[in-house]
């Protein structure tokens, strides 16, 4: 990815009675409150664990307030793997973690054992982008499995709930509401929460209303709130359908990245709807979209989506993350890899994140992910970067 930051001032000219003097870089930095480092806050780490799983999909920050004395802690980043070591789609079983102020996992060739720290090994294969964490101490992860990596053996998935130690608490299955959890987003209110889930095999979006206890969660209600998104098999990506979700609590609007439709939709009254509202309203669809996948809000209030390149591909604009306003105005784009099909999971932490980190994105091509510390006010110093 290309990150444009302002240059820190390395010198400063001051006027005095004695004339004009050129201050040293060190002195300038000490006296200029606006000085900032030149290098961005950035960590790149492998996602390959000991069993060799590949193709990172989901990514999530562990939020502030997460209970202590667990396997994971606030500020950690979790990643779910969709493929196994043979790179067969829908066969990966691991969630790995990175602690930003700890050690990175070095890169290893595909097919070999890696050093990424595994916090969960699932009995259900094909862990998807449906990865999220509740501040109360629970982790959600979805799966869409295959037997051999092909669409001919794909089957319904489930939503698993883990505790802060990475132990499986319960598995949520439902042929209507949770047939194929492909992505999710969470509205967290401490003792209660709403989990919005996109189902790739049926082209639907569901909402789970939860009560959150100290040792488990209880599903109080399941509601299908949207349907009608295009969902089709795809030779390269296995299957295309509704993917990324981003919920705006202030307006009760859920945004949906529909990959096969190559568009972003908005669903009104998403947190209170008692029934289906079809696909919602078209928000954004132009040439900058190339099969949008994950979706997240940026700290400045804009939306971010990752292009998977399975729709409207352009080799001169590969693996891009696109920023646009809630009103559907394109803002900026940049790529995570020089090849196509590398962008998938993205996540932001609002505000903050780990120690100074608030944005992360996976790279399917290199089986790695990058974690950034991006300040909400960077636009004041950067060019528009279009």
Judge whether residue 229 has pLDDT over 70: yes
Q: What mean pLDDT do residues 283-308 have?
A: 96
Judge whether residue 85 has pLDDT over 90: yes
Judge whether residue 6 has pLDDT over 70: no
- Alpha-carbon distance of 237 to 21, in angstroms, equals 61
Asked if 52 contacts 111 with a C-beta cutoff of 8 angstroms, the reply is yes
- Alpha-carbon distance of 83 to 89, in angstroms, equals 5
pLDDT score of 379: 41
Quickly tell me which residue has 């790995």 as its tokens.
Answer: 96
User: What is the sign of the dihedral through the CA atoms of 6, 342, 288 and 298?
Assistant: negative
* End-to-end CA gap in the chain: 13
| Predicted structure pTM score | 0.88
pLDDT score of 164: 95
Q: Say how many C-beta atoms besides its own lie within 10 A of residue 50's C-beta.
A: 15
Residue pLDDT, tens place only, 131-159? 999 999 999 999 999 999 999 999 999 99
Residue pLDDT, tens place only, 33-67? 566 677 878 999 999 999 999 999 999 999 999 99
pLDDT score of 352: 53
Q: Say how many C-beta atoms besides its own lie within 10 A of residue 271's C-beta.
A: 18
Average pLDDT, the chain: 89
Q: Per-domain residue ranges for the chain?
A: 1-39, 41-380
Interior angle at CA 139, CA 133 and CA 140, nearest 5: 95
**Fold of the domain spanning 41-380:** Neuraminidase (2.120.10)
pLDDT score of 105: 97
């Amino acid at each position: 990815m290309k990150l444009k930051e302002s240059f820190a001032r390395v010198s400063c000219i001051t006027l005095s009675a004695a004339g004009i003097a050129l201050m040293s870089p060190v002195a300038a930095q000490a006296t200029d409150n606006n000085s900032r480092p030149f290098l961005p806050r950035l960590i790149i780490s492998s996602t390959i664990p000991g069993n060799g799983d590949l193709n990172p999909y989901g990514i999530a920050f562990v939020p502030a307030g997460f209970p202590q004395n667990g396997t994971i802690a606030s500020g950690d980043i979790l990643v779910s793997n969709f493929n196994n070591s043979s790179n067969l789609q829908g066969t990966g079983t691991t969630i790995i973690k990175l602690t930003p102020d700890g050690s990175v996992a070095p890169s290893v060739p595909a097919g070999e054992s890696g050093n990424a720290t595994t916090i969960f090994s699932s009995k259900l294969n094909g862990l998807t982008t449906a990865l999220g964490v509740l501040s109360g101490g629970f982790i959600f992860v979805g799966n869409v499995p295959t037997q051999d990596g092909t669409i001919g053996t794909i089957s319904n998935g489930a939503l698993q709930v883990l505790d802060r130690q990475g132990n499986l608490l319960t598995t949520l299955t439902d042929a209507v509401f949770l047939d194929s959890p492909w992505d999710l987003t969470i509205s967290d209110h401490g003792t209660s929460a709403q989990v919005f889930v996109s189902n790739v095999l049926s082209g639907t979006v569901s909402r789970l209303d939860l009560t959150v206890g100290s040792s488990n969660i209880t599903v109080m209600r399941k509601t299908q709130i949207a349907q009608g998104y295009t969902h089709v098999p795809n030779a390269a990506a296995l299957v295309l359908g509704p993917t990324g979700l981003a919920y705006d609590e202030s307006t009760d609007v859920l945004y949906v990245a529909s990959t096969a439709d190559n568009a972003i939709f908005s669903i009104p009254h998403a947190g209170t709807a008692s029934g289906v509202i079809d696909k919602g309203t078209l928000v954004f669809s132009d040439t900058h979209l190339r099969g949008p996948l994950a979706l997240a809000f940026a700290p400045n209030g804009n939306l971010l989506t990752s292009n998977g390149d399975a729709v409207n591909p352009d080799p001169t604009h590969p693996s891009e993350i696109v920023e646009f306003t809630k009103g559907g105005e394109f803002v900026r784009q940049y790529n995570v890899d020089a090849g196509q099909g590398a962008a998938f999971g993205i996540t932001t932490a609002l505000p903050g994140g780990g120690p100074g980190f608030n944005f992360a994105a996976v790279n399917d091509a290199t089986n790695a992910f990058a974690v950034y510390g991006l300040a909400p006010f960077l636009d004041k110093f950067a060019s528009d970067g279009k």
